[in-house]
Amino acid sequence: MSAGLLYWAFLKSLFVLVILAPQIRPQVISNKLKESLEKNRVGNIIVTFKTRPSEALNRVADKFKTLKNRGERLHILSTELENDALKSQKTTLELLQSEKSITKFFSLWITNQISVRGASIDLVNKIGSLQDVLRVEECKAFTLPATNTNNSTMLPEDTYKKGQMRNKTSIGPTAWQYLQKMGVQGVWELGFVGKGILVGVIDTGVRGTHDALRDNYIGTKNYGWFDPENLSKYPFEYKYQFHGTNSIGAVVGNYGFGVAPSAKWMACKAVDKDNKWHEDWVVACLQFMVCPTDYQGNNKNCSKAPHVITNSWYYPSGEDDTVLRELTPVLAQSQLHFVFCAGNEGPGCGKVAPPGSYKEFIAVGAGDIQDKLMSYSSWGPGPDGIIKPEVICGGKGVLVVSPASDFSYSNSDGCSMATPLVAGVVALLLQKHPLLSPAEVKQILTSTATNITAFSDEECGGIPVTQIPNNQIGYGFVNALNAIHALPAS
């Protein structure tokens, strides 16, 4: 062996030594992940880096006080976060790229994390030993809130064949009841139909070919779809899922199904075949909403961000929501309008679910057409005793767009339905006043909501149900017409 080669081999062995004999820092690897790895040998992990998003937020804080242009704000915010992520993730990404066993990993700048599917113990140890790494944990997955849609409630296809429902008078009272109750028709008559507003949905996906939805899709070339699981090109939902199509249909569905039928939609799929939402996909979806990319996750353009994002998912009670709590200041700085489900975990005090329970967001509970709170609607108070939910909307027997075929409709229950109805009202308000802040929208929705009957007279957080707001019904049922009238002309 020549001296040169020997030297090379020596260097290489040094390199290998450094890589193979890492200083294990077990404190960065969560106990739950350790236990799971001992059992399963491989795991889906999420790696969190030491540079936290709060550092980027501090840097932009001053600039953001005066910067009003939405696209520019989002661009600066995402660029600062991305730069921090690039720096801290460099070594880990190099390690992952050199690992042959890994099937899938992706980087998230919005939380400064990397998600790795199928990581071995050895790899977890290697990652845990890297200087920039703060935590290595198991990537969590939770069952999506159940709604009550099923095949037996499906309406016959020919009842709502294409064209028949374009004439409002032929829709009939069933499809209309919640929209009428909310005063939506009156808002349409004033010319506010969601025109110019883009609504995002984070859910199971959408049957994009549905008759009531296909015309409103913003389009894949306009960054309308992202599927972190498979990077698929066109919106879809796995067979017998319905949640995402139901949800976006209640916001923008044609023929009298959606509150804001002239708004456009975009979607991100965060749910697997088994109805589980994955925390890393939800973060990827939130990142996509703050600064959209093409369907392959490239060429971001923050000017394509939606105005309103409807979220019919939540953390089950007692689950660790650290990731969303840390991400929320970034979402708040984005000034995009997030609407969340309060949860279907009622009755009982304090059951409102994160992230809808956070003060930054609107949490929506479920009521029926007779002005009564549903038993399953989650009650407040939220953390620090704040009143939750803020508002109630239709969450019992809501007639919705169904993905069973391109011409199917069905009934659905739960805050999963109430939430998109409210997101639709936000879209109507934004058509009238595009620059409303989330705080202003919350103020308008709450100050114009109408009283409904609480589930029981149980007092929560020291507030009796005879007082408005309270922790069962918040400020009451959302009324779109009251809200639009409360908004001064722009």
Comparing C-alpha atoms, which of 48, 16, 93 is closest to residue 327?
Answer: 48
Compute CA 469 distance to the chain's CA centroid, rounded to the nearest angstrom.
26
Active site residue 371: no
Collapsing DSSP states into helix, strand and coil, what is residue 412?
Answer: strand
Number of residues that bind ligand NAG (CB under 6 A): 19
Beta strands of 183-278 (E only): which ranges? Answer: 198-203, 225-226, 264-269, 276-278
Q: Which of 84, 203, 211, 294 is catalytic?
A: 203
Specify the amino acid at residue 252: V
Collapsing DSSP states into helix, strand and coil, what is residue 282?
Answer: helix
Collapsing DSSP states into helix, strand and coil, what is residue 192?
Answer: coil
Rounded CA gap, 186 and 184, in Å?
5
Quote the least distance from Cβ 96 to ligand NAG, whole Å: 18
- The backbone torsions φ and ψ at residue 180, rounded to the nearest 5 degrees and listed phi first, read -65, -45
* Close Cβ partners of 240 (under 8 Å, ≥ 6 residues apart): none
**DSSP code, position 206:** -
Q: Output 23 or 466, the one with its CB closest to ligand NAG.
A: 466
Window 279 to 318, contacts with ligand NAG (CB under 6 A)? 301, 303-304
For residue 466, state whether it binds ligand NAG (rule: CB under 6 A). yes
Active site residue 321: no
Span near ligand NAG by CB under 6 A; candidates 91-99, 143-151, 201-209, 482-490: 143-151
Within 13 Å and on the Cβ side, how many CA atoms surround 29?
Answer: 24
Active site residue 243: yes
Span near ligand NAG by CB under 6 A; candidates 86-94, 149-157, 326-334, 384-392: 149-157
Window 108 to 127, contacts with ligand NAG (CB under 6 A)? none
For residue 230, state whether it binds ligand NAG (rule: CB under 6 A). yes
- Answer for which of 13, 170, 174, 405 binds ligand NAG (CB under 6 A) is 170
Q: Output 267 or 487, the one with its CB closest to ligand NAG.
A: 267
- Answer for which of 83, 220, 450, 453 binds ligand NAG (CB under 6 A) is 453
For residue 129, state whether it binds ligand NAG (rule: CB under 6 A). no
Q: Output 232 or 456, the one with its CB closest to ligand NAG.
A: 232
Rounded CA gap, 445 and 429, in Å?
10
Helix 70-98 to helix 279-290 angle (10° resolution) is: 140
- Answer for which of 83, 129, 153, 185 binds ligand NAG (CB under 6 A) is 153
Window 232 to 261, contacts with ligand NAG (CB under 6 A)? 232, 240
Q: Which of 243, 278, 307, 337 is catalytic?
A: 243
* Close Cβ partners of 122 (under 8 Å, ≥ 6 residues apart): none
For residue 152, state whether it binds ligand NAG (rule: CB under 6 A). yes
* Close Cβ partners of 58 (under 8 Å, ≥ 6 residues apart): none
- Contact positions toward ligand NAG, by CB under 6 A? 148, 150-153, 167, 169-170, 229-230, 232, 240, 301, 303-304, 451, 453, 466, 468
Residues assigned a catalytic role: 203, 243, 416
